[in-house]
Amino acid sequence: MAPRSRKAAASTSPPRTHSDGTPPEVPPKDETSAVADVDALLAPLPGEQREEVKVNNASVTDMKHACDDALKRFLSRPDLFKQIHTHTDVRLALGWLSVLVAGATGLYGWKVPFEQSKPAVWAGVIAYIVLTIAQTLYSYFIEGDIVFVGKRKTFDKRIVTERITITSRTTPSSPSTPPGYALGLTFVRSAAGGKTLLGKGRASEERPFTAFFDERGVLDQEAFERWVGAVVGQVMDGKAQ
């Protein structure tokens, strides 16, 4: 492993006792068994071959995107959550639809003489404006800061569905503190197709970017994943803040 001596001192949450590469112990067969399994899964796999993630560490947006991507990669592992892409798909659908409307209107206005084309071009321009407003409202009100929505189905004595929604924000820097990365998590565990509520949790935690990025701008993915795993584990155990 590359020496991490140049990284700023970081304060991470205490590591879980049964993670860090040891195989999970045989869990007791009751409600908490699923939870113990997940705790093991939430630990970053040691020695896993990762591509180096290097960003411009003067740009807070770049660092936030790098962290968001690492978060998505970490939580989308096969045994963990399955990412639900609804927000992205809606944004893509509305966006591409508005582009197609614009293209069709432009093409029509080019082929047909001006006076004749006016009603259709009016319709096209108004449709484009409506779609753009819809996109903006959706992304501001409904999507907001959400970066990851994941679902997980486990079979214990019945089918348990778990759903996690993660938002992330950056906090601005001040002369004495570095910029920070604030995660907010909302977690729901239900059974019987969502009709029985088994557990709910909410958590939010913040870390300065200096905890994960070194001087060159390389993201320490293991430390980041350890932190994310800890917070997700917290919210899934129901130890919400």
Partner 1 sequence: MFADELKTLRRLGVRHVLLQILNFVSVLASGLMIWKGLGLITNTESPIVVVLSGSMEPAFYRGDLLFLTNPSDARYQTGDITVYKIPGADIPIVHRVLETHDYPPNNKGAVAASPLVQRQLLLTKGDNNAIDDIELYQGLEWLERKHIVGKVRGFLPYVGYVTIAMNDFPQLKYALLGGLGLLALIQRE
Which stretch in 117-125, 148-156, 183-191, 211-219 sits in contact with partner 1 by CB under 8 A?
A: 117-125
The 15-54 contact track toward partner 1, x by CB under 8 A, reads ------------------------------------x---
Buried-exposed string 22-46: b where 16+ CB fall within 10 A, e elsewhere:
eeeeeeeeeeeebbbebbbbbbbee
Which stretch in 32-40, 97-105, 148-156, 177-185 sits in contact with partner 1 by CB under 8 A?
A: 97-105
Question: What 8-state DSSP symbol labels residue 142?
Answer: I
Candidates 36, 121, 188, 198: give the one binding partner 1 (CB under 8 A): 121
Candidates 61, 136, 177, 241: give the one binding partner 1 (CB under 8 A): 61
The three-point CA angle 69-178-14 to 5° equals 65
Shortest reach from residue 2's CB to partner 1, in Å: 18
Shortest reach from residue 105's CB to partner 1, in Å: 6
Shortest reach from residue 92's CB to partner 1, in Å: 6
| Residue 40 or 218 having the CB closest to partner 1 | 218
Non-local CB neighbours of 81 within 8 Å, separated by 6+ positions: 75, 148, 150, 151, 152, 162, 164
Shortest reach from residue 85's CB to partner 1, in Å: 6
Element spanning 227, H or E: helix 221-236
| Residue 65 or 82 having the CB closest to partner 1 | 65
Sign of CA dihedral 32, 81, 137, 124: negative
Q: What are the distances in angstroms from CA 155 to CA 34, 43, 131, 190?
A: 9, 21, 42, 12
Half-sphere exposure of 220 (CA within 13 A, CB side): 22
**E-state strands within 121-194:** 146-155, 159-171, 180-191
Shortest reach from residue 32's CB to partner 1, in Å: 35
Binding site for partner 1 (CB under 8 A): 51, 61, 65, 69, 85, 88-89, 91-92, 95-96, 98-99, 102-103, 105-106, 109, 114-115, 118, 121-122, 124-125, 128-129, 132
